[in-house]
Amino acid sequence: MNMQTTMTNKPEKPVHLNPWRRWSWLIWLVLVAGVYTWAITGLHFTGLQESAGSVSKSIVHGLVNPDWAYVYNGSGEDLVSLIIQTLAIALLGTFVSALISVPFAFWAARGEHEWGHLRSGSGKIVLTLIRTFPEIVLAIMFIKAVGPGSYAGVLAVSIHSIGMLGKLFSEAIENMDRGAEEAIVSAGGNSPQVFMLATIPTIMPEFISYTLYRFEIAVRSASILGMVGAGGIGTPMIFAIQTRAWSRVGIILLGIVVMVLLIDTLSEQLRKRLI
Amino acid sequence: MTTPEIPQRSWSQRWHVKGVGWTALLVALLVGSSKMTGVDVGMFFSNFDQFTNLLVRMSQPAWSYVPIIIQPLYETIQMAILGTTIGTVFAVPFAVLAASNLVHNQWLRGIIRLILDLVRTLPDLLLAAIFVAIFGIGSTAGVITLAIFSFGMISKLFYEVIETIDMGPLEAMESVGASKVTIIWYAVLPQIMNQFVSYFLYTLEINVRASTVLGYLGAGGIGVFLQRSLSEFDYNKTAVIILATLVVVMVIDGVSNHLRRVLL
């Protein structure tokens, strides 16, 4: 018996059915290079100020020597009061937005029914439109309606957040466990009962968790909405930048950083306990 | 046979202390917030005609404005591409240093993560305002803002990806005495490349959205025109800008979503 122990022929080379595949990396390379050439040549970096160096130096100096007197002076226009106001805008805006988002989420969530695709598709488009509408433009529009101040900020946050919360909520509904709903149906429950006894308790923790997550983002946006006049810490920030009061900018930046870090940590702890 | 014991609810459970407590806290916070922000539902409706007036004017977009805003729209995308790329280049080493499976020095990791956390706290428009003050009005400030913004975001996404890799190939290379750089190149990179590119594209999507408003504070792109139309009360131009932004964002999202699906 002659057993062959060495290979006499090399294995056949793999045949590419599609000859383009071998060269696809080259096409990608050319494409990416093209995009970057377009991007770099399209921008002109001519607007550079000669004072950039000295301005950065004074900014760093201001950041290192913040204006501690601004932290609290009892006028209601100090750092602590305005940070609390910023948090109030974010909290109220997120809460209202969470309430409005629930019907939007049920609209956009894909169900099992045949016609559901049209309904959920239209809901998803509406949510995308809301998400893309710039928040500061919303703020400016609401300032026209209710005047400058934190009320306009609350309205802007509540409407803008629907875009993201509605999307997250609808995905939670699509991925939820249907067991509890089926149990109520098989026990003879009608649809309001199914909704109250099964749907709501099943998705509530996720809804709350997403709302807390959105609150973290709302705190960030509430702190910049003031730049267009919609209340909160953004207003003194933009004034301080425009008047080159860098030690004032320093203390406000510090305040925002501390506020965001605290809120993020708190919200993360709460979310961990929820799910 | 012993009779089964009926589970007893504790005093706090019977009176729903936790639920009542959280509800009371939330209500107190909400009432306090609405006092503080001066929310007045009536005022919104009494001024509703002004708001609808604005909406009516926005519903008649000035289409003749479209050719003027094409160039700034390109600039917006270019800013987003460059900003995201610069941010990514700086994020990669930080992501490697922050990953707990590659760097075992707890202090180094802690400091790097603290820096990343601090960078992520800063909102993009705030950064834009500061960089406009430093570099002057123009797209440079926008690119740098986006670079810092995406640096914070990408470094976190990247180190979380790195922490999920399979350590087998790394250990194999370590056992034959490969250097750190060789290990990263041959054992780490092939495992994470696709996810890196996918997250890069995701950040690019977010940056395109962000870059459309950065110009509001003078940092280049379409936002400059947005600010101009709003301050001149040309709401029909504002509407065109918003619609154009919408189209750009959707096209970029579509391309990026397609690429990400091909990759993963």
Question: Cβ contacts (< 8 Å) between B249 and chain A: which residues?
Answer: 132
Whether residue B49 lies inside any domain: the answer is no
Q: Where are the domains of chain A?
A: 75-274
> pLDDT by residue (tens digit) across A19-66?
666 777 888 899 889 989 888 888 877 656 677 788 888 888 888 888
Whether residue B33 lies inside any domain: the answer is no
Nearest to A92 by CA among A214, A273, A236: A214
CA B118-B119-B122 angle, to 5 degrees, is 95
On the 0-12 / 13-18 / 19+ scale of CB atoms within 10 A, B103 is middle
**Which pLDDT score is estimated for B158?**
92
Mutate to test the interface with B, among A21, A36, A43 (most CBs of B within 10 A): A43
Which CATH architecture best describes the domain A75-274? Orthogonal Bundle (1.10)
> pLDDT by residue (tens digit) across B128-157?
988 888 888 888 889 999 999 999 999 999
Range with the poorest average pLDDT among A2-6, A139-143, B210-214: A2-6
Size of interface A-B (CB pairs under 8 A): 162
The CA distance from B123 to A267, in Å, is 18
Whether residue B155 lies inside any domain: the answer is yes
Nearest to B97 by CA among B107, B84, B83, B88: B107
The CA distance from B125 to B211, in Å, is 9
B82 to chain A, minimum CA–CA distance in Å? 7
> pLDDT by residue (tens digit) across B75-109?
999 999 999 999 999 999 999 889 888 788 889 99
**Do residues A229 and A156 make contact, with C-beta atoms less than 8 angstroms apart?**
no
Whether residue B14 lies inside any domain: the answer is no
Does B125 sit within 8 Å of A224, measured CB to CB?
yes
Question: Cβ contacts (< 8 Å) between A38 and chain B: which residues?
Answer: 78
**Which pLDDT score is estimated for B1?**
58
Q: How confident is the model at residue A160 (pLDDT cuts 50, 70, 90)?
A: very high
Q: Is B259 on the interface with A (CB under 8 A)?
A: no
Q: Is A171 on the interface with B (CB under 8 A)?
A: no
The CA distance from B185 to B189, in Å, is 5
Q: Is B137 on the interface with A (CB under 8 A)?
A: yes
ipTM over 0.90 threshold = no
The CA distance from B192 to B260, in Å, is 14
Q: What is the mean pLDDT of residues A9-22?
A: 68
Whether residue B25 lies inside any domain: the answer is no
**Which pLDDT score is estimated for A115?**
62
**Do residues B130 and B218 make contact, with C-beta atoms less than 8 angstroms apart?**
no
Mutate to test the interface with B, among A38, A50, A129, A224 (most CBs of B within 10 A): A224
The CA distance from A225 to A138, in Å, is 10
Phi/psi for B204 (5° steps) reads -60, -40
Residue, of B51 and A180, whose pLDDT is higher: A180
Split into its structural domains, chain B has a count of 1
Whether residue B52 lies inside any domain: the answer is no
Facing residue for A55 by CB, picked from B75, B78, B133: B133
Per-residue pLDDT at B256 exceeds 70: yes
Range with the poorest average pLDDT among A142-156, A205-219, B10-24, B107-121: B10-24
Residue B188: domain span: 63-263
Q: How confident is the model at residue A82 (pLDDT cuts 50, 70, 90)?
A: very high
Does B230 sit within 8 Å of A256, measured CB to CB?
no
**CA-CA distances (angstroms) from residue B152 to A267, B77, B119?**
19, 20, 6
CATH code, B128? 1.10.3720.10
